[in-house]
């Protein structure tokens, strides 16, 4: 499938070379092998030409002995060339696949290091596309570049050299005509560029429509909109047809036209060569029939790479464009290194928030000069309507984001002074957004403690009330879950997430609407398990059901991204502010 | 596969003419060595310059005619392949619209999307290449052999020996690499999943400090992929050297035989040997092209068979023809001993559910996680079919209604609030394309969304893909308005208030009750407050109706309902 040529950022080639540079030893070997295969495949026609010259007219076998000598030479050459060809492709494969592997590893590693502020801004599909498809396309382009551009260029140079050695006049004629084919290829390429762009646009639009409709197929069906959606799809599909047909047809003209130019070159060589055989140009050695056939063979070999290289260069440019997209990801600034920071060791669980201000975007300040202290073992609730920014506070506590000013201290230690990992390991976190990895149920529960014994895992599952449903799964704890816990309901996933934390039991807890998808009866049981767990642990609870936060040590009330009130349930009710409205609304009867 | 081929029928002319012109072009190429032989044997040997010039002009002419043939072929190939895939996509999209919910579950939406995009694309380029090239290579190979026989039968026997050996090597390597290519694809899938997973789970991974472990897992998978890629590469890298050896050894044998022939037979010339040599060389060039072509075609065939699988899949539901009920039944909705077992599951998700609801009444459904609430309401519009018992709408079995009638009479607000790209008006008109503005505004006002719409700038305000420029609560209210605008006889709200605060929730339910009195409303919720005013409440537990009755009845007679109620209204809920 032809693709549009995209521009790569400047300097991309240099970065690519740096990756290739890791395989320093292989590269020169590959180049040497390429030189050898090109030279020998060019030399082969010489041998064959000589052998043909050994053929005398009818009844004369005087040349046969010489011919057989040549054959022996040719056989050895064939064997060596084949071996060199294979070794070269093997080495090229190795370089290309290893470079792609290295780039992918770096890109993936970067995902783990990026600050969440930049990761949250990206569309997941886009990043995945870079790591997977762009890397793939780049690898293909690289391999093609290695195997074909390189040997192609060498073949052109070599063929010219051999032709020069055979006959200067013919060579000059060939060189003069060939730029034509490059010109033709370029002309067509530039004309089709816009057509491909148009096709890509049609394609993107059609794909977006498909994605929207099929992604919500059940909804489309529920409203009986199938026919209407078919109609709008057909419109897009029809436009795509027209633009695709045009782009594909015009781009496919390159090959026939360059082939035509080549056949003109071939005819010219045939003519000049034949004339030269008949009437040797003054002073020049006589051209034999064998040499004639050889020159014809060279002119074919010489023009062929032109045909291919124009196509490959476009492909290679696409590959570089892909590479530059991966490099964009790899070169993004990572989170500031904390290798030199100290470890946060034994924690009692006091959390002090001092004059903290934070905003995702500077023009929309959210948290301003907020101060708050949680003593070890206290239970702090964060409440407010959906989308009010409760999660922001968690982002700051866990250092997913850093406060703009002010400081958060854990046991008197500023959290920016300690290793992020050691801070985070002190929190057990259950988010509303359940995330499980592809793997068994057991692996998922033991995610935070791989050395946990089976008994411990079952115990954790039991306290999360997940044991009974896990037991009923096809393979119990060994049941394999798909990506993001595929095969489980939202509530079941949440229970496993809770079991995951139950197993690690860190000194502080963050429960972000941890039970939102679980029915209230089970929730009450889990709350009891949480209560046991929270004993002596500082806990931050984000809750949408206010009944569960009533007896917290402190309640932080948020609205519209701002912290509006802080206090105990009684204090807040007495104040009669936003919390009171919230609290009363849940008992409102219609 | 037959299913797909029928769409090619519309392009009969193109599919025949394309390859035909390609063959014409190829046969011109086969004449070239003959002309060169003539130049050598007649022109050069007799010193006839004008003959040589004529022959060379003939070469140019052949090239020009070849150009014309090949451009014509490309045109037909492009037209047929693009047109074919456009028709396939049309058929596929239309076919997918007929699938029932169970079918959609089975196929998965990302799978359906790939079939319409990536797979269709591969089929298109595969067909294009096939039309242009597939016939050409064998034609050139065998053509070269036949031409060789016309030059000299004895020498041409070499071709007869070389070609089968080549065939064995080319197809042998293909057979070995094809499964390897599949494995490579599997490896790519794995690292794709790992990457997606790590982006969506970044907070959890960092919270547990598992970054290093994840990186090393990724590296392992990546290394495995690289290994298979290399292994595949090494095998397919054999193709070129092996064909190179076979052809060139063939050339030596050919010249050897040719030399003997020239020696023995006065009619055989040196020019003939050169011609034979040229034919052998043409085969080599052609084979390299063929090898690349075959890889693309195998990929295209795999995609085509995936598409054919979908087209072959019959929609699992059939509908009746009834448009309106003629029954005089009092009840709008009757469940009688209904049970449901999903296709993929071994256990019933619903068992023995029976209840009746009158016109204009409200039915509340409440129960815990996984108790079967959504399963139950999905039976009403026949999203899934009950596997036992019967369901009646307006006194008639739901299986008698046409699909359009069911969609018209029943509107549904699913849990996940989704809006489509376009305008608010377009989204509101889903269930009722001809709705007037005041009808839409009435529905929007009923759904407590008037403020949302006016804030965004009225009915023509833009909605981005998935409705992401609206908050969860705003989307939820708009999806409720969308269902009300459809003026259904039955309105189903599946946990549609979850993103709304209690006050809005209450106001919304009051408005619905007041304004659309004749509509039977089904409310599914985890909140007791949302269903307690319903005329009838079904409390579900593990797929069974553990309580059916009014709030008061259930509060006294159904333990599970009482527990739910108390867990939300203070009572015992102080965990």
| Cβ–Cβ gap B274/A437 under 8 Å | no
Element (H, E) at A82: helix A64-113
Query: What pLDDT, on a 0 to 100 scale, did the predictor assign at position B227?
Result: 94
Q: What is the mean pLDDT of residues B207-233?
A: 90
Q: Which of A125, A224, A450, A544 to probe by mutation at the B interface, max B CB count within 10 Å?
A: A224
Long-range contacts of A183-186 (CB under 8 A, 24+ apart): A184/A254, A184/A257, A184/A258, A184/A261, A185/A254, A185/A257, A185/A258, A185/A306, A185/A307, A185/A310, A186/A310
Mean confidence (pLDDT) of chain B: 85
Which residues from chain B sit within 8 angstroms of residue A421, using beta carbons? 209, 211
pLDDT in tens, A195-244: 877 877 787 788 778 877 877 777 887 877 888 888 889 999 999 999 88
In whole angstroms, how far apart are CA A149 and each of A16, A31, A154?
16, 12, 8
Which residues from chain A sit within 8 angstroms of residue B412, using beta carbons? 222-223
B331-568: CATH architecture: 3-Layer(aba) Sandwich (3.40)
Query: What pLDDT, on a 0 to 100 scale, did the predictor assign at position A586?
Result: 63
Query: What pLDDT, on a 0 to 100 scale, did the predictor assign at position A453?
Result: 92
Strand partners of residue A354: A407
- pTM of the model as a whole: 0.70
Every domain of chain B and the residues it spans: 331-568
Nearest beta carbon to residue B229 from set A97, A274, A386: A97
Looking at the complex, report in whole angstroms how far the Cα of residue B381 sits from the nearest Cα belonging to chain A. Answer: 8
The sign of the torsion formed by the CA atoms of A475, A480, A486, A490 equals: positive
Inter-chain contacts counted by CB atoms under 8 A, chains A and B: 446
Model confidence at B207, pLDDT cuts 50, 70, 90, reads: confident
Confirm if B538 and B353 have CB atoms less than 8 A apart: yes
Query: What pLDDT, on a 0 to 100 scale, did the predictor assign at position A587?
Result: 58
Query: What pLDDT, on a 0 to 100 scale, did the predictor assign at position A439?
Result: 86
Enumerate residues 6+ apart whose C-beta is below 8 A from A232: A209
- Alpha carbon B377 to its chain's center: 28
Looking at the complex, report in whole angstroms how far the Cα of residue B518 sits from the nearest Cα belonging to chain A. Answer: 19
Both tokens of B445, joined, read 């006002």
- Helix, strand, coil fractions of chain B, as percent rounded to 5: 65, 10, 20
Kindly identify which residue of chain A lies nearest to residue B115, measuring between CA atoms: A210
pLDDT in tens, B20-30: 998 888 888 88
A551: nearest Cα among A377, A352, A381, A375: A381
Which residues from chain A sit within 8 angstroms of residue B75, using beta carbons? 249
pLDDT in tens, A141-183: 887 777 777 778 888 888 888 778 777 777 787 788 777 777 7
pLDDT in tens, B62-111: 999 999 998 999 899 999 999 999 999 999 998 888 888 878 777 766 66
Query: What pLDDT, on a 0 to 100 scale, did the predictor assign at position B345?
Result: 59
Nearest beta carbon to residue A89 from set B75, B237, B367: B237
Query: What pLDDT, on a 0 to 100 scale, did the predictor assign at position B481?
Result: 93
Query: What pLDDT, on a 0 to 100 scale, did the predictor assign at position B419?
Result: 86
Both tokens of A422, joined, read 């050691």
pLDDT in tens, A453-492: 999 999 999 888 888 888 877 788 988 887 666 667 777 8
Distance CA B521, CA A198 (A): 48
Distance CA B247, CA B249 (A): 6
| Cβ–Cβ gap B208/A275 under 8 Å | no
**pLDDT > 70? residue A414:** yes
The sign of the torsion formed by the CA atoms of A576, A582, A588, A590 equals: positive
Distance CA A573, CA A584 (A): 10
Which alpha helices (H) appear in B410-471, and where do they start and end? 424-428, 437-446, 450-456
Enumerate residues 6+ apart whose C-beta is below 8 A from A3: A196, A314, A315, A318
| Cβ–Cβ gap A289/B271 under 8 Å | yes
Q: Three-state DSSP class for B171?
A: helix
| Cβ–Cβ gap A274/B44 under 8 Å | yes
**pLDDT > 50? residue B461:** yes
Query: What pLDDT, on a 0 to 100 scale, did the predictor assign at position A252?
Result: 80
B427 contact A CB<8A: no
Model confidence at A386, pLDDT cuts 50, 70, 90, reads: low
All domains of chain A, ordered by start, with CATH? 1-167+308-335 (1.20.1560.10), 168-286 (1.20.1560.10), 351-585 (3.40.50.300)
**pLDDT > 80? residue A390:** no
Confirm if B535 and B357 have CB atoms less than 8 A apart: yes
Query: What pLDDT, on a 0 to 100 scale, did the predictor assign at position B125?
Result: 83
Query: What pLDDT, on a 0 to 100 scale, did the predictor assign at position A193?
Result: 72
Query: What pLDDT, on a 0 to 100 scale, did the predictor assign at position A144?
Result: 75
For the ranges A144-158, B212-226, B384-398, the lowest mean pLDDT is seen at: A144-158
Query: What pLDDT, on a 0 to 100 scale, did the predictor assign at position A311?
Result: 65
B275 contact A CB<8A: no
Query: What pLDDT, on a 0 to 100 scale, did the predictor assign at position A520?
Result: 67
| Cβ–Cβ gap A55/B262 under 8 Å | yes
C-alpha neighbours within 13 Å on the C-beta side of residue B414: 16
A579 contact B CB<8A: no
Enumerate residues 6+ apart whose C-beta is below 8 A from B168: none
For the ranges A151-165, A179-193, B402-416, the lowest mean pLDDT is seen at: A179-193
Strands A538-542 and A508-512: parallel
Kindly identify which residue of chain B lies nearest to residue A111, measuring between CA atoms: B199
Which alpha helices (H) appear in B313-414, and where do they start and end? 373-379, 403-409
| Cβ–Cβ gap B277/A293 under 8 Å | yes
| Cβ–Cβ gap A519/B82 under 8 Å | no
The two most distant CA atoms of chain A are separated, in Å, by 124
């Amino acid at each position: 499938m032809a693709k549009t040529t995209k521009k790569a950022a400047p300097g991309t080639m240099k970065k690519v070379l740096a990756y290739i540079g890791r395989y320093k030893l292989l590269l020169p070997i590959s180049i040497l092998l390429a030189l050898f295969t090109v030279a020998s495949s060019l030399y082969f026609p010489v041998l064959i030409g000589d052998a043909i010259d050994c053929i005398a007219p009818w009844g004369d076998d005087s040349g046969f002995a010489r011919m057989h000598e040549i054959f022996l030479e040719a056989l050895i050459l064939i064997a060596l060339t084949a071996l060199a060809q294979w070794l070269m492709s093997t080495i090229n494969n190795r370089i290309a696949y290893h470079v792609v592997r290295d780039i992918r590893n770096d890109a993936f590693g970067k995902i783990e290091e990026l600050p969440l502020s930049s990761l949250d801004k990206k569309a997941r599909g886009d990043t995945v596309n870079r790591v997977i498809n762009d890397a793939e396309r780049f690898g293909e382009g690289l391999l093609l570049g290695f195997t074909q551009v390189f040997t192609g260029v060498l073949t052109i140079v070599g063929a010219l050299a051999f032709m020069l050695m055979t006959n200067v006049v013919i060579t000059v004629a060939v060189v003069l005509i060939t730029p034509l084919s490059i010109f033709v290829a370029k002309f067509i390429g530039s004309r089709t560029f816009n057509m491909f762009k148009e096709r890509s646009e049609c394609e993107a639009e059609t794909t977006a429509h498909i994605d929207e409709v099929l992604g919500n197929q059940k909804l489309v069906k529920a409203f009986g909109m199938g026919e209407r959606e078919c109609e709008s799809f057909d419109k897009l599909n029809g436009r795509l047809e027209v633009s695709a047909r045009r782009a594909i047809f015009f781009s496919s003209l390159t090959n026939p036209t360059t082939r035509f130019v080549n056949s003109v070159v071939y005819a010219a060589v045939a003519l000049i060569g034949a004339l030269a055989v008949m009437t040797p140009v003054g002073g020049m050695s006589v051209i034999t029939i064998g040499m004639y056939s050889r020159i014809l063979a060279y002119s074919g070999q010489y023009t062929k790479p032109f045909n291919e290289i124009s196509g490959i260069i476009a492909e290679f440019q696409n590959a570089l464009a892909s590479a530059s997209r991966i490099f964009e990801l790899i070169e993004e600034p990572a989170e500031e290194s904390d290798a030199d920071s100290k470890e946060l060791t034994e924690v009692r669980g006091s959390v002090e928030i001092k004059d903290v201000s934070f905003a995702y975007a500077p023009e929309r300040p959210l948290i301003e000069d907020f101060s708050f202290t949680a003593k070890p073992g206290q239970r702090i609730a964060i409440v407010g309507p959906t989308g009010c920014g409760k999660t922001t506070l968690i982002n700051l506590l866990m250092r997913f984001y850093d406060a703009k000013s002010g400081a958060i201290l854990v046991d008197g230690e500023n959290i920016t002074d300690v290793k992020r990992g050691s801070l985070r390991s002190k929190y057990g976190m259950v988010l509303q957004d359940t995330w499980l990895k592809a793997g068994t149920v057991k692996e998922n529960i033991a995610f935070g403690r791989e050395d946990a014994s089976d008994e411990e895992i079952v115990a954790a599952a039991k306290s999360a009330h997940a044991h009974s449903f896990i037991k009923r799964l096809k393979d119990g704890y060994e049941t394999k879950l798909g990506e993001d816990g595929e095969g489980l309901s939202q509530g079941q996933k949440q229970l496993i997430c809770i079991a995951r934390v139950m197993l690690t039991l860190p000194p502080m807890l963050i429960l972000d609407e941890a039970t939102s998808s679980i029915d209230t009866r089970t929730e009450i049981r889990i709350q009891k398990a949480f209560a046991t767990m929270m004993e002596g642990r500082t806990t931050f609870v984000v809750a949408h059901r206010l009944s569960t936060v009533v007896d917290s040590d402190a309640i932080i009330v948020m609205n519209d991204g701002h912290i509006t009130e802080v206090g105990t349930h009684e204090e807040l009710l007495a104040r009669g502010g936003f919390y009171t409205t919230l609290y009363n609304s849940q008992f409102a009867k219609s | 596969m037959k299913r797909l081929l029928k769409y090619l029928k519309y392009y009969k002319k193109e599919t025949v003419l394309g390859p035909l012109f390609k063959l014409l072009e190829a046969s011109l190429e086969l004449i070239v060595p003959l002309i060169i032989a003539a130049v050598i044997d007649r022109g050069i040997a007799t010193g006839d310059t004008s003959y040589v010039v004529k022959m060379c002009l003939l070469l140019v002419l052949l090239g020009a005619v070849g150009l014309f043939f090949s451009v014509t072929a490309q045109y037909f190939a492009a037209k047929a392949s693009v047109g074919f895939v456009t028709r396939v996509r049309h058929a596929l999209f239309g076919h997918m619209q007929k699938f029932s919910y169970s079918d959609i579950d089975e196929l998965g939406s990302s799978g359906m999307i790939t079939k319409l995009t990536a797979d269709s694309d591969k089929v298109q380029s595969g067909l294009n290449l096939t039309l242009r090239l597939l016939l050409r290579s064998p034609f050139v190979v065998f053509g070269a052999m036949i031409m060789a026989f016309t030059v000299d039968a004895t020498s041409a026997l070499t071709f007869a020996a070389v070609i089968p050996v080549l065939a064995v090597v080319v197809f042998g390597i293909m057979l070995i690499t094809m499964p390897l290519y599949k494995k490579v694809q599997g490896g790519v899938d794995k690292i794709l999943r790992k990457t997606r997973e790590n982006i969506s789970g970044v907070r959890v991974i960092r919270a547990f400090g598992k970054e290093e472990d994840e990186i090393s897992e990724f590296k392992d998978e990546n290394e495995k992929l690289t290994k298979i890629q290399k292994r595949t590469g090494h095998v397919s890298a054999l193709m070129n050297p092996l064909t190179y050896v076979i052809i060139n050894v063939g050339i030596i044998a050919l010249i050897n035989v040719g030399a003997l022939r020239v020696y023995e037979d006065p009619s055989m010339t040196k020019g003939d040997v050169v011609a034979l040599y040229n034919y052998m060389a043409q085969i080599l060039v052609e084979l390299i092209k063929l090898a690349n072509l075959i890889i693309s075609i195998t990929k295209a065939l795999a995609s085509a068979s995936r598409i054919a699988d979908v087209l072959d899949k019959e929609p699992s539901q059939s509908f009746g023809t009834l448009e309106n009920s003629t029954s005089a039944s009092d009840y709008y909705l009757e469940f009688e001993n209904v049970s449901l077992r999903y296709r993929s599951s071994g256990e019933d998700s619903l068992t023995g559910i029976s209840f009746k609801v009158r016109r204009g009444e409200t039915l509340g459904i409440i129960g815990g996680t996984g108790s079967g609430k959504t399963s139950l309401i999905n039976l009403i519009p026949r999203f899934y079919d009950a596997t036992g018992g019967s369901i009646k709408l307006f006194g008639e079995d739901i299986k008698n209604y046409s699909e359009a009638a069911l969609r018209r009479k029943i509107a549904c607000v699913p849990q996940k609030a989704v809006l489509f790209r376009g305008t608010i008006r377009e989204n509101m008109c889903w269930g009722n394309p001809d709705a007037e503005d005041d009808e839409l505004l009435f529905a929007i006002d009923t759904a407590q969304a008037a403020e949302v719409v006016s804030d965004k700038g009225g009915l023509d305000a833009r909605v981005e893909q998935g409705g992401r420029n609206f908050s969860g609560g705003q989307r939820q209210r708009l999806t409720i308005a969308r269902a009300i605008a459809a003026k259904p006889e039955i309105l189903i709200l599946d946990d549609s208030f979850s993103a709304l605060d209690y006050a809005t929730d209450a106001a919304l339910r009051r408005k619905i009750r007041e304004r659309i009195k004749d509509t039977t409303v089904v409310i599914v919720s985890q909140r007791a407050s949302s269903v307690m005013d319903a005329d009838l409440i079904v409390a579900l537990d593990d797929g069974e109706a553990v309580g059916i009755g009014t709030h008061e009845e259930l509060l006294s007679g159904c333990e599970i309902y009482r527990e739910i109620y108390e867990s939300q209204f203070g009572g015992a809920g102080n965990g």
